[in-house]
Structure 1
């Protein structure tokens, strides 16, 4: 009878861990989102098919009824409004993405890695802005085909697009707050539609505020989206300056948009970070 001698156990060799910066970790998270989009191109339908549909429907359906825009064509009046609405819905993208990652346990897997928690949020935020920027580009091309033009110079055009991204960054914090607070994608969809749709329509996005009742007009013109859209119209040369009877933000729309963006970020970001930390705590 022969006996087998147990072989001494070999020491476990662990792979070497290299420290990386938060910027590098965040970029990896952005790449992760981009890979998902590449593998599921239907995820781009909301920033490719839908923007074209919105532009064409509003331009040819609403445009046939709305003729008094204070100067210029309704199509040039329309494009800044739809772009403002699109960047507001960047909050929707990041909210559903974070909720899905939390619900599936993906964030818990990230926590087991030697990475910063903030890189998950930063990566989602940057990916969301990139996602929405595709929609802005698609709408710009569609607008050019139906007669929209940028008429006030290159520098003002770049400033307008920068304002879009700045306001989108503020809205992303709202998306992080909702996505971290709710526990299902269905709940996020319901809340975001209920909140964002009325806000984007109760503004100067698709129709002038002048004919509105006084109380409703005041609400619409103090809406941060109205400041953004008015700034885009003035910077692109797509509409006149605000009427003398308009509320204060519309008389200084660029400054108002910057202040709204910074203010919303300062107010919402702490609550969003607290909600995310609470969902991911040990």
Structure 2
């Protein structure tokens, strides 16, 4: 008979971290391989940013006025970067619910592998997908006339803030994906549209009604988009509120708070499945 070799369980904190990272990379590779082998999904994810640039930059953009003045397409692109990052949450939810409904999650839980490494691997693969989407969106922006004006270093810092928000939203998506049904996950896009619209993505909160503008200013997405406009040197009236004047600080603080809440919730929920 073939003897099943079970690896020794880690006993020290360093061994546990190494074990989680190793298993996380295995799960991440699986996610990336599935993504590449699904050409319909690849084409959809890559065409979506291009379509949004064309739609908002040329169709709606002709009727838009930037508060404080400036070219609307330069105002628009950081908002589209942020919207694309936010929409990635729905993708995470759908993938997690699909794995759970098809028994993949149960299979992982039955194997001698780090349970935190499974959700960590999901975050790795989603981050790689997000980087590719942002690269394509940046290329679209450059093609339609968008530019950064404060140097390459600050442009990289802005991209880092976008990816920081995406990393935080991945943990929200993992947690939701572990508690909702596939049918509910299919509708995950619906609440994201108002969340990305009630922000400074397409218009300044100062152009909204007072109560709505207040909600938009404190939207975590607004902090990231406002910070990106500041770092890119793109037009955009920041407003006089504390949130608008401290966009960079909030663009760091909001994701840290979200990760601190949802990362342990996600790991705990994964460990407690079917209990």
TM-score (norm. length: structure 2): 0.91
Question: Bigger radius of gyration, 1 or 2?
Answer: 1
Give CA-to-partner distance per residue, 1:26-51, whole Å, 9 cap, x none.
Answer: 11111101111221122123431110
38-47 or 98-107, which deviates more: 38-47
Work out the CA distance in 2 between the residues paired with 1:270 and 1:177.
9
CA distance in 2, matches of 1:16, 1:241: 62
Q: Which residue is 1:269 aligned to?
A: 263
Partner Cα distance (2:118, 2:263) in 1: 15
- Show the counterpart of 2:95: 97
Aligned residue among 153, 159, 162 for 2:160: 162
Question: Matches of residues 12-23 of structure 1 in structure 2 within 5 Å?
Answer: 12-14=1-3, 16-18=5-7, 21-23=19-21
Tell me, yes or no, if the aligned pair for 2:78 and 2:229 is still in contact at 8 Å: yes
Classify the secondary structure of the residue corresponding to 1:210.
helix
1:38-76 CA distances to partner (integer Å, 9 max, x unpaired)? 211221234311100000110001210013342321111
Listed one character per residue, the Cα deviations across residues 141-197 of structure 1 (whole Å, up to 9, x for unaligned) are 01100000011112111111111111111111110121011122x21122x223211
Contact kept? 1:67, 1:74, Cα under 8 Å: yes
CA contact (8 A) 1:47 1:134 kept: no
Per the alignment, residue 197 of structure 1 pairs with 193
Query: What is the 5 A alignment of 1:24-173?
Result: 24-173=22-171
2:184 is aligned to 187
Q: Distance in 2 between matches of 1:202 and 1:84?
A: 12
* Uncovered stretches (5+) of structure 1, i.e. residues with no partner: 1-11
Q: Distance in 1 between matches of 2:165 and 2:22?
A: 25
Quick one: distance in 1 between partners of 2:191 and 2:128?
23
SS at structure 1 position matched to 2:113? coil
Q: Does the CA-based 8 Å contact 1:242-1:251 persist in structure 2?
A: yes
* Aligned equivalents of 1:217, 1:234: Cα separation in 2: 19
Residues 176-231 of structure 1, C-alpha deviation per residue, up to 9 Å, x if partnerless? 121011122x21122x2232111110001011221211111111111111111000
Distance 2:265 2:202 in 1: 31
Secondary structure at 2:148 match in 1: coil
Q: How many residues are aligned here?
A: 266
Which of 178, 199, 207 is residue 211 of structure 1 equivalent to? 207
Aligned partner of residue 67 in structure 1, secondary structure = coil
TM-score (norm 1): 0.89
Corresponding position of 1:5 = none
Classify the secondary structure of the residue corresponding to 1:92. helix
> Matches of 1:113 and 1:53 in 2, distance apart?
42
Pair 1:202–1:214, CA change in 2 (3 A): same
Q: Tell me how far apart the structure 2 counterparts of residues 57 and 115 of structure 1 sit (CA, whole Å).
A: 45
**What residue number does 1:4 align with?**
none
- Where structure 2 has 5 or more consecutive residues not aligned to the other structure, the ranges are 9-17
Structure 2 residue matching 1:205: 3-state secondary structure: coil
Q: How far 1:85 moved relative to its partner? A: 0.8
